[in-house]
């Protein structure tokens, strides 16, 4: 077994704000089956500490960036966890990254440098009895682990950085650098210096032995100026160690045949039972309870990445075509307000819930006829994978992991009987409108629709393939270092 220390700022079911949490929570079991054991180190936010049975302190820092800290070890939700209990960094209610005012905590640089430093200490053997071959850091919040390991005196494990979203980099003024406890050489063009600032993700991408991202298409896209978010030059330079590994889904959590969060469970052969979920969803969201209306769902963070402003632009047309819409989301206040107003304006046709609701997310997958993800960019996207599994037809823009996971219902795919959804491009309101018209004509052709639903539900969106690709990557990295 390859021994992996995973470093992350979220892990489902303990703490989740988006897909990162789902992935970090699901990977350990899949990797276990493929030949790698995982211990995951996460910050001790109150929501995490509240859910730890029998945690034992295995390491103590007298001063981890401004206060004492313990590393706790325990098993929770079948996950082998190390939790950095550092009250001065993490004992704050609510969102892991934002204060109640919706703004980033001003000391996020120090908070996640603390996670990285703790992970590097554990990764190099500070905890007796715990040794690791690989340290695998997810996103900028974990990337400092790789930077600290690069400057560690003595042997270190192999390092991997996975980029879930290049838009977030952890960029701070140069005045933070002296507090990080790194040699001056780290603050250079070849390290974590970026236009005079420190950039945590850049540090990780510069120093990691391997870089992955969460779909093959996104791996290509981020080496170009358009989607490189200012790091495309570095990513082109490191293209030899960069690869894309698609995410899977946790089918113990997302499986319509066993899902405890939906009213009527169903399988591919018993699609008729979905109708009961649709009726419950319509009622819950204040929509007309019409079985024949095409019901489109959205479950999303409300940010410009997700392209939902384009949907707002098309709402009048949608309603005129008799299409219903349900949206569950939270994020930018202007978008939240716009959807609340839209629901009031299109009473009975548009329903929205602003907030975060895991159970409603499942009901939308099980009760909607189609699921919309019109992102401007999308590293992988999980909601379209859940939609495939639940027989809700994904309608997606042709970017990143959306492009890699949905087979567009074009003439050839329909003739071959392999279509699983609809792709559109460019990411404009017009192209989105056209896609919804195509969706509506398919909806009116019930046999074609049901064929597409069966195809979608048969698509392999499991972690099996991806997990074996991660293990192959770990093996090749270890072979290079031996």
Please select the residue that binds ligand GLC; options are 378, 386, 387, 407, rule is CB under 6 A: 378
What is the C-alpha to C-alpha distance for residues 42 and 55, in angstroms, rounded to an integer?
Answer: 13
> Pattern 371-410, binding to ligand ADP, x per CB under 6 A?
---------xxxx---------------------------
The answer to whether 165 contacts ligand GLC (rule: CB under 6 A) is: yes
* Strand pairing report for 193-194 and 197-199: antiparallel
Paired tokens of 81 = 């966890």
Q: Is 19 in the site for ligand GLC (CB under 6 A)?
A: yes
Q: Which of 25, 96, 114, 379: binder of ligand GLC (CB under 6 A)?
A: 379
Residue with tokens 């897909």: 19
- Number of residue whose CB is nearest ligand GLC: 19
**Alpha carbons 21 and 51: distance in angstroms, whole number:** 16
| Segment contacting ligand GLC by CB under 6 A, of 6-14, 311-319, 374-382, 473-481 | 374-382
Question: What is the Cα Rg of the chain in Å?
Answer: 23
DSSP string computed for 6-73 = EE-S-BTTTB-SSHHHHHHHHHHHHHHHHTEEEEEEEE--HHHHTT-SS-EEEEEES-SSSS-EEEEE
CB-based contact 45:34 (threshold 8 Å) = no
Residue pair 215/244 in contact (Cβ under 8 Å)? The answer is yes
Nearer of residues 302 and 318 to ligand ADP, judged by Cβ: 302
Q: What is the DSSP letter of 392?
A: P
| CB closer to ligand ADP, 19 vs 43 | 19
- Kindly tell me which of 216 and 286 has the beta carbon lying closer to ligand GLC: 216
- DSSP of 274-335: HHHHHHHHHHHTT----TTS-EEEEEEEESGGGTHHHHHHHHHHHHHTT-EEEEEEEE-HHH
Choice between 86 and 299, CB closer to ligand ADP: 299
Binding mask 237-256 for ligand GLC (x = CB under 6 A): ----------x---------
Phi, psi of 300 (to 5 degrees): -165, 150
Helix, strand, coil percentages for the chain (3-state, nearest 5)? 45, 20, 35
Give the span between the Cα atoms of 17 and 8, in whole angstroms: 12
Residue 174 DSSP class:
G
CB of 182 to ligand ADP, least distance (A): 30
What is the C-alpha to C-alpha distance for residues 349 and 326, in angstroms, rounded to an integer?
Answer: 8
Q: Site residues for ligand ADP, window 294-323 (CB under 6 A)?
A: 299-301
Give exposure, 20-54, as e/b (b: 16+ Cβ within 10 Å): bbbbbbbbbbbbeebebebbbbbbbbeebbebbee
Give the integer Cα–Cα distance in Å for 69 and 60: 6
CB of 164 to ligand GLC, least distance (A): 3
Each residue 109-148 as x (binds ligand ADP by CB under 6 A) or -, in order, gives ----------------------------------------
Binding region for ligand GLC (CB under 6 A) out of 96-104, 169-177, 226-234, 378-386: 378-386
Give least dist CB 219 to ligand GLC, A.
12
Q: Angle formed by the axes of helices 139-150 and 108-123, to 10°? A: 50
214 binds ligand GLC (CB under 6 A): yes
Footprint (CB under 6 A) of ligand GLC, residues 284-313: none
Contact partner, 468, from ligand GLC, ligand ADP, none, Cβ < 5-8 Å per class: none
Q: How far apart are CA 345 and CA 320, in angstroms?
A: 13
Distance, CA of 40 to CA of 10 (rounded, Å): 10
Site string for ligand ADP, 69-108 (x = CB under 6 A): ----------------------------------------
Query: Per CB under 6 A, which of residues 3..62 are in contact with ligand ADP?
Result: 18-20, 22
Q: Which of ligand GLC, ligand ADP, none binds 87 (CB below 5-8 Å, type-dependent)?
A: none
Q: By CB under 6 A, is residue 278 in contact with ligand GLC?
A: no
Q: How many residues bind ligand ADP (CB under 6 A)?
A: 18
Which bin fits 352, alpha (ψ -120 to 50), beta or left (φ > 0)?
A: beta
71 or 163: CB nearest ligand GLC: 163
Residue 216 touching ligand ADP (CB under 6 A) = no
Binding test (CB under 6 A) with ligand GLC, winner from 11, 15, 20, 42? 20
Q: How far is the CB of 294 from ligand ADP (least distance, A)?
A: 21
Nearer to ligand ADP, 113 or 373 (CB): 373
Task: Point out which span in 70-78, 149-157, 179-187, 326-334 binds ligand ADP (CB under 6 A).
Answer: 326-334
Q: Return residues touching ligand GLC (CB under 6 A).
A: 18-20, 23, 164-165, 214, 247, 378-382, 401
Q: Return residues touching ligand ADP (CB under 6 A).
A: 18-20, 22, 299-301, 328-330, 356-358, 361, 380-383
């Amino acid at each position: 077994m390859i021994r992996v220390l995973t470093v992350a700022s979220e892990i489902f079911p303990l703490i989740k704000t988006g897909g990162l949490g789902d992935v970090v929570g699901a990977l350990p079991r899949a990797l276990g089956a493929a030949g790698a054991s995982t211990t995951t180190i996460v910050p001790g936010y109150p929501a995490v500490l509240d859910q730890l049975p029998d945690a034992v302190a295995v390491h103590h820092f007298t001063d981890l960036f401004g206060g004492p800290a313990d590393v706790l070890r325990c098993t929770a939700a079948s996950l082998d966890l190390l939790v950095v209990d550092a009250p001065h960094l993490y004992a704050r209610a609510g969102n892991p990254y934002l204060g109640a005012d919706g703004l980033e905590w001003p000391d996020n640089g120090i908070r996640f440098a603390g996670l990285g430093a703790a992970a590097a200490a554990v990764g190099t053997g500070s905890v007796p009895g715990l040794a690791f071959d690989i340290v695998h850091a997810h996103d900028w919040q974990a990337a400092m682990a790789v930077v600290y390991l690069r400057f560690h005196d003595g042997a270190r494990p192999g390092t991997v950085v996975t980029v879930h979203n290049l838009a977030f980099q952890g960029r701070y003024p140069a005045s933070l650098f002296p507090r990080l406890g790194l040699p001056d050489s780290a603050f250079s063009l070849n390290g974590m210096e970026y236009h005079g600032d420190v950039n945590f993700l850049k540090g990780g991408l510069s120093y990691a032995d391997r870089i992955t991202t969460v779909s093959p298409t996104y791996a290509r896209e981020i080496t170009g100026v358009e989607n490189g978010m200012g790091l495309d030059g570095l990513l082109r330079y490191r293209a030899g160690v960069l690869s894309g590994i698609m995410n899977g889904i946790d089918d113990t959590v997302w499986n319509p045949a066993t899902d405890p969060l939906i009213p009527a469970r169903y399988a591919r052969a018993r699609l008729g039972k979905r109708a009961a979920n649709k009726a419950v969803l319509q009622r819950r969201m204040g929509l007309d309870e019409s079985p024949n209306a095409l019901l489109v769902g959205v479950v999303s963070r409300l940010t410009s990445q997700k392209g939902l402003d384009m949907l707002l632009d098309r709402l009048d047309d949608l309603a005129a075509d008799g299409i219903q819409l349900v949206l569950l989301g939270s994020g930018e206040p202007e978008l939240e307000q716009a959807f609340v107003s839209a629901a009031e304006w299109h009473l009975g046709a548009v329903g929205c819930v602003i907030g975060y609701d895991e159970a409603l997310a499942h009901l939308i997958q099980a009760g909607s006829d189609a699921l919309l993800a019109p992102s401007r960019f999308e590293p992988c996207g999980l909601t379209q994978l859940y939609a495939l599994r639940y027989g809700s037809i994904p309608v997606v823009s042709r970017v990143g992991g959306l492009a890699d996971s949905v087979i567009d219902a074009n003439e050839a795919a329909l003739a071959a009987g392999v279509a699983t959804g609809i792709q559109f491009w460019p990411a404009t309101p017009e192209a989105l409108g056209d896609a919804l018209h195509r969706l509506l004509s398919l909806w009116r052709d019930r046999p074609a629709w049901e064929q597409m639903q069966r195809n979608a539900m048969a698509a392999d969106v499991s972690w099996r393939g991806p997990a074996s690709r991660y293990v192959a990557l770990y093996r090749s990295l270890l072979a290079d270092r031996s």
